Amino acid sequence: MIKTHGLTKRYGRTLAVDGVDLDVRPGDRYGFLGPNGSGKTTMVRMLLGLVYATSGEIEVLGEPVPRRVHRVLPRIGALVEGPAAYPHLSGRRNLKLLDAAGPGGPRRTRKSRVEDALAAVGLSGVDSRPVRAYSLGMRQRLGLASALLRKPELLILDEPTNGLDPRGIHEIRDLLIQLNEAGTTVFLSSHLLAEVEQLCTRVGVVDKGKLVLQDELTAVRTPTGRVLVDSPDPAAAVALLDGRLEHRDGSRLVVRHDDPAALNAQLVGGGVRVAGITEQRRTLEEVVLEVTTSSADRIDGASRPGAAP
């Protein structure tokens, strides 16, 4: 779906993207994760032919970009930082103009295409007020609606939940999962670990322009060699565990063990009731901290004494 080879972008002395080999496969919900300033936006812009690479190759939907980007763009939906819209027109009017401008489909079905896109992003009740009166979250939703107008095979989204409140984030996540299950491949950039962990099936981690990790989320989140047990008979469980108990918090036990099924059989066989049992896996945060260096510009700039808030 998206492949890059040795993709590099230099702005003067700044190496914004450094030799990235991206591999986004059909059906992925791919999270491109990195702190602010790590090169995510530059990467997204290069994929869309908006910025030229210094070196390296890009292929999107089997076509070389930027050379054949005109063939690619009608098949994808994109949302890049600060979605553009005519501020004096309503969201609905903006979408109609956008639909008319592209190879969206016949004019008589335009209204239904626009209403479908508005409904998908939770904006169907929007009135005729101009876009300049929209909140940041509404603008973001409108941007997503424009990305959906052409029922794209691939969505490329730069920080799609920027400016949304928790409910909005939840709705957009559900929408992206729904679209993905209906066949759309989703590529999104984000600096939010939790967002990627909850939404994505595959993850790429970028650090100072370099791709330091790329894999399926389940492969990344490897087992820790611990099993989490919840039992209404914790004391009896501990007695059976033979020194393998690592931690106990009320009815919850952390046990050094790598086979939850075998442990469950042992506990139940010993007369211990088990309310819940799962294998503990590393969190995405632990994995990311391991593969990235400390991020110079993460947040610390604003918290320095005397720095502007």
Handedness of CA 292, 33, 174, 75 (dihedral sign): negative
> Counting contacts by CB under 6 A, is residue 162 touching ligand ATP?
no
Contact between 14 and ligand ATP per CB under 6 A: yes
Q: Cα–Cα distances in Å, from 257 out to 146, 245, 278? A: 50, 9, 11
With CA atoms as reference, report the closest residue to 268 among 236, 227, 246: 236
167's tokens: 């409910």
Which of 185, 158, 156 has the alpha carbon at shortest distance from 36?
158
**Residue number with CB closer to ligand ATP (38 or 184):** 38
**Measured from the CB atom, is 158 or 197 closer to ligand ATP?**
158
The C-alpha atoms of residue 85 and residue 142 are separated, in whole angstroms, by 9
Q: Using CB under 6 A, which of the segments 30-38, 96-104, 121-129, 274-282 binds ligand ATP?
A: 30-38
- Find where tokens 């820790």 sit: 224
Closer to ligand ATP by CB, 42 or 146: give it.
42
Residues 37-76 that bind ligand ATP (CB under 6 A): 37-42
- Choices 32-40, 101-109, 130-138, 229-237 (CB under 6 A): range interacting with ligand ATP: 32-40
Please pick, from the candidates 34, 143, 160, 204, the single residue that binds ligand ATP as defined by CB under 6 A. Answer: 34
Q: How far is the CB of 40 from ligand ATP (least distance, A)?
A: 4
The reply on whether position 82 binds ligand ATP by CB under 6 A is no
Interaction of residue 208 with ligand ATP, rule CB under 6 A: no
* Distance of closest approach, residue 208 Cβ to ligand ATP, in angstroms: 9
Rounded to 5, what percent of the chain is helix, strand, coil? 35, 30, 35
| Residue with smaller CB distance to ligand ATP, 40 or 92 | 40
Q: What does residue 133 show for φ and ψ, rounded to 5 degrees?
A: -90, 0
Report the first-to-last Cα separation within the chain, whole angstroms: 41
**Residue 214 and residue 15: Cα distance in Å, rounded?**
20
Choosing from 191, 252, 281, 298, the residue that interacts with ligand ATP (CB under 6 A) is 191
Give the shortest CB-45-to-ligand ATP separation in angstroms.
8
Token representation of residue 225: 């060699």
Which residues contact ligand ATP by CB under 6 A? 11, 14, 16, 34, 36-42, 191
